[in-house]
Amino acid sequence: MSDPVKMIDVSGKETVYRSATAVGRIRLKKTTVEAIKEQGIKKGDPLTVGEIAAILAVKKTPELIPLCHNIPIGQVDVEYEFMENSIEARCRVVTNAQTGVEMEALMGVATALLNIWDMTKYLEKDADGQYPDAAITDIRVVEKRKRE
């Protein structure tokens, strides 16, 4: 029989500065990327909505990832980079805590990308209502820092 599920005890660890940065990409039609650049999305600016949603998701990470610790969030930065047929989102999270913020950064970037999808899906559907071009990919942690 396996061990019971449990949260890791970090109570004996020192509180230190920690940061993590995650990135991910949403592939879209070139015309959809252009519509975002030109502020032509019916629901409004998906990058701003994505940024706000990412911040909210970072703060709610322990509610959605059961074994994540509830830690104080010091800062959340969300940035975007346009490519021809995709947008890369980058989410950096900072804390002073006893454990890291990798899951928070991953949650932030994933939520930013999901909100972009939600706001642009009407442009991505084909005649059958499918999404042959849209895809969220390459979500990963690209940097983790800890100062002792």
Q: What pTM did the predictor assign?
A: 0.95
48-104 pLDDT per residue, tens: 999 999 999 999 999 999 999 999 999 999 999 999 999 999 999 999 999 999 999
Q: Does residue 84 lie within any of the structural domains?
A: yes
The answer to whether residue 138 is catalytic is no
Token pair in block for residue 137: 């990919």
pLDDT band (50, 70, 90) for residue 2: confident
Q: Does residue 66 lie within any of the structural domains?
A: yes
Q: Does residue 13 lie within any of the structural domains?
A: no
3-state secondary structure the chain: CCCCCCCCCCCCCCCEEEEEEEEEEEECCHHHHHHHHCCCCCCCCHHHHHHHHHHHHHHHHHHHCCCCCCCCCCEEEEEEEECCCEEEEEEEEEEEECCCCHHHHHHHHHHHHHHHHHHHHHHHCCCCCCCCCCEEEEEEEEEEEEEC
- CATH, residue 44: 3.30.70.640
Q: Does residue 9 lie within any of the structural domains?
A: no
Q: Does residue 5 lie within any of the structural domains?
A: no
6-19 pLDDT per residue, tens: 999 999 999 999 99
* Average confidence score pLDDT of the chain: 96
pLDDT of residue 100: 95
The length of the chain is 148
List the domain range (segments joined by +) for residue 104: 22-147
Catalytic option among 3, 9, 45, 118: 118
Q: How many structural domains does the chain have?
A: 1
Q: Does residue 39 lie within any of the structural domains?
A: yes
Q: Does residue 8 lie within any of the structural domains?
A: no
Q: Does residue 12 lie within any of the structural domains?
A: no
